[in-house]
Amino acid sequence: MNPRAIAAWSLAALAIAVSTNNPVYRAVVALCALNLILARGRPGLRLRPLLVTVAVAAAIATVVSLLLSHTGTHRFIEVPGDVPLIGGAITLESLVFGLVTGLGIAAALLAVAPLTLVADPYDLVDALPPFLARTGAAIGTALNLIPTMARSAADIRDAQRLRGWRPRRVRDWPDVAVPVVLTAVESSITLAEAMEARGWGSGPRTHYLTAPRWWFDVAVAVSALLAAAAFLALRASGAVPDWYPFPVIPPLPVNPAALACCLVLILPSLGPDTR
């Protein structure tokens, strides 16, 4: 898919996920994002790191809300009030609130995941508008430095161990950290010289190969942005109210129009394969 279409879709999905705390809409956004990743993900894609990250973030939000929010009618246990922070009632309503908050975090993370899991990073940087081209290149280069530094750190650590290095204190780790930093600086200088040799920054940005734009990509981008705009309009008008499980868990209000706006996000995972 065209990276700009993916960016528009992610923006729309993120806007819907963060603008409401209704778990129905958040669940629909999350499921649409997972479907998109599975349908359009790059070859060789591994989802386990993403899923683990999402699960851990959601679990932390749930536990924090459960322990710190003592509001609610249906109480599980009563923690003595002398206990700091978590002292008080542990209620079903706070558990539900934590789960809803975790679902929101998961939906937001999954909404932006296609930017890295579906779009090629180089195509994504290339798709940036001209006034963001230099900033995008700098950010992309910096992000690309992270895995490079990780590999360099592992190599240097193994080399030091072959020389008899055994870390026992925090003061021993500069033996690895300093070479890693120096290696990263040297790599950055080499990269800068390579970019300058290829004329980067000497004139307007050129493209070796422009990502094709199919009618389907345009349809995905337009429909996603319109759906997000419609959803936000419904929120502003009061048709999509907030939902809180306090003091008792109320029924979930679902607006058919808002639900339809969320379901539009499934479009890119159902369309033809444009690869």
**For the window 70-109, what string marks contact with another protein as x by the rule CB under 8 A?**
-x-xxx----------------------------------
Q: In angstroms, what is the minimal distance from the CB of 149 to another protein?
A: 31
250 binds another protein (CB under 8 A): yes
Q: In angstroms, what is the minimal distance from the CB of 62 to another protein?
A: 19
d(CA 222, CA 216): 10
Q: Which is nearer to another protein, 182 or 248 (CB)?
A: 248
**For the window 179-198, what string marks contact with another protein as x by the rule CB under 8 A?**
--------------------
Q: Is 2 exposed, middle or buried (0-12, 13-18, 19+ CB in 10 A)?
A: buried
Q: Which of 11, 59, 191, 263 binds another protein (CB under 8 A)?
A: 263
Token pair 């969320």 in the structure block, residue: 262
Q: Which of 18, 31, 59, 64 binds another protein (CB under 8 A)?
A: 31
253 binds another protein (CB under 8 A): yes
| Residues in contact with another protein by the rule CB under 8 A | 24, 27-28, 31-32, 34-35, 38-39, 71, 73-75, 238, 241-244, 246-248, 250-256, 259, 263, 266, 269, 273
